[in-house]
Amino acid sequence: QKEVEQDPGPLSVPEGAIVSLNCTYSNSAFQYFMWYRQYSRKGPELLMYTYSSGNKEDGRFTAQVDKSSKYISLFIRDSQPSDSATYLCAMKGVTGGGNKLTFGTGTQLKVEL
Amino acid sequence: DSGVTQTPKHLITATGQRVTLRCSPRSGDLSVYWYQQSLDQGLQFLIQYYNGEERAKGNILERFSAQQFPDLHSELNLSSLELGDSALYFCASSADPQGDEQFFGPGTRLTVL
């Protein structure tokens, strides 16, 4: 079983929809959580970074962490065609070998006009 | 543009050969990370250097090695290449050794024929 599970999609939504992307994890040592966006043939781009359980908002993006359930989410409001990309969740521990990021496999999102 | 540069963009070589991938981190960042992204394995952490010293190691094969130079650029050396080494190789950098916020370069696409 992988440490981080993410539905690969593809997920297709109409423009303006609210998108929900999710990851579950099994390693209790994970304390830092990130969401990256990756356009085709490009490097991942950091979207959101959070440490605490709860919500963190940045523009149209909201990251949600529930450590008790080992579940994280990314919500995209008023989705745009330019949001079409692969979204990767990533997480890391606190100390020692925890410097490495462990990624989900990514969810491919397509926002259609 | 993340500020992380990688060369070359594409590399095509034959099995058994050796290649070197180069990365320049963002200005001021002391940590460099190498990742491999393939269709079946997703994004996998290989190794981290901080200010010239190895800091953390992931799933890096013995045929692969890396180093970080005094000017902070890093090189990833891949030897005795196999077909399965074909992948995207990303470099990321962060200001701190903990790597809470990592910024990725555009990647080098390696094709082994």
Residue A63's DSSP bridge partners are A56, A74
Q: pLDDT band at residue A7, thresholds of 50, 70 and 90?
A: confident
Question: Do the Cβ atoms of A99 and B2 come within 8 Å?
Answer: no
Tell me the C-alpha distance between B109 and B113, whole Å.
13
Asked if residue B63 lies in contact with residue B76, where contact means CB atoms within 8 angstroms, the answer is no
Q: Does B90 touch chain A (CB under 8 A)?
A: yes
Q: Is A36 on the interface with B (CB under 8 A)?
A: yes
**Hey, how many other C-beta atoms are within 10 angstroms of the C-beta on A112?**
11
From chain B, the residues in CB contact with A3 under 8 A are: none
pLDDT in tens, B60-111: 999 999 999 999 999 999 999 999 999 999 999 998 877 778 999 999 999 9
Q: How much is the pLDDT for A29?
A: 87
Q: Which two tokens stand for residue A31?
A: 């304390």
For B2-53, the pLDDT digits (tens) are 899 999 999 999 999 999 999 999 999 999 999 999 987 889 999 999 999 9
Task: List, for residues A92-111, the tens digit of each pLDDT value.
Answer: 886 555 568 899 999 999 99
> What is the per-residue pLDDT across A28-84, written as a single tens digit (0 to 9) for each?
889 899 999 999 989 999 999 998 888 999 999 999 999 999 999 999 999 999 999
